[in-house]
Structure 1
Amino acid sequence: MKKLLTIAAIALAPLAFSSQAAMSLQMEKTLVAVCKAGASNSIVEFNGTMKEYRINKPRIFPRLVCNDQSFHQFALSHGADRTAARIERYTLGTVTIKDITMNYHEDDILAVNF
């Protein structure tokens, strides 16, 4: 019984892992349509695609990658500045922390107002 269970687990393991990484055909078709609409620089076509496929903009645009570029960068590289401006608010920004004590010099003025 134990041997049968081990053989079954080994035989089914590749099927379990491959199904997690695969994207459904409909999902891929939808994301390709979104990428094409983003490259078109037509706000009407872009909005129509978003409504047709019911895209959740805050959820999709920070994660969507078209041709190894973020969606925002992809739109800009195809000259679609109107589309890029439309989704710019959904792109993730970067935050840097600059430690004052590490960059302090004698000539720098540190002013505090209270």
Structure 2
Amino acid sequence: MNKVKLAAVSVITGLSLSAVSVSSMAMDRQVEKALVKVCKSALSDKPIRLKHSMEDYNLKARDVALKVMCNGDDIITFAEANGANKTAARLQNSIGKVDIIDVAAVNKINVNF
């Protein structure tokens, strides 16, 4: 009886894992295609081409700048290393500016209750 249960569980697990891998493979091709297109457009040094490729796949410039890796480098470094300074600057501007304030150095801190 235990062998039958073990066999049934093994078959069900195998089928469910194969179904998951097929669906993830289909998604991976689409994602890879989108990322390759974005990396190639970043290399072109034409910001309008980069904008169109991001729009084609509903990608936000901030997400691309912070999360996309091209050939082991982040996309901004990749573009700069290959002479695509316009697209690198466009992606850098999409990140925004961060200000760091040293709270310990501030003279007054107002707290209202």
Q: So what's the TM-score if we normalise by structure 1? A: 0.64
For 2:9, the equivalent position in structure 1 comes to 6
SS of 2:83's partner is coil
Identity of aligned residues (%): 30
- Structure 1 residues not aligned, in runs of 5+: 94-99, 101-110
For 2:100, the equivalent position in structure 1 comes to none
Note the aligned Cα RMSD (angstroms).
Answer: 3.4
Aligned length: 102
User: Amino acid of the residue matched to residue 67 of structure 1?
Assistant: N
- Deviation, structure 1 residue 91: 5.0
Summarize deviations over 1:83-107 as a string: whole Å, max 9, x none: 11111145599xxxxxx9xxxxxxx
CA distance in 2, matches of 1:21, 1:48: 26
CA distance in 2, matches of 1:25, 1:81: 29
- Structure 2 residues not aligned, in runs of 5+: 98-103, 109-113
For 2:111, the equivalent position in structure 1 comes to none
Residues 75 and 36 of structure 1: CA distance in aligned 2, closer, same or farther (over 3 Å): same
For 2:49, the equivalent position in structure 1 comes to 45
CA distance in 1, matches of 2:19, 2:94: 33
Summarize deviations over 1:20-74 as a string: whole Å, max 9, x none: 8645322211111110110111122222222233222223331111111101111
Q: Which has the higher helix share?
A: 2
Residues 63 and 20 of structure 1: CA distance in aligned 2, closer, same or farther (over 3 Å): farther
Superposed, 1:1-114 pairs within 5 Å as 1-9=4-12, 11-12=14-15, 15=18, 18=21, 22=25, 23-90=27-94, 113-114=107-108
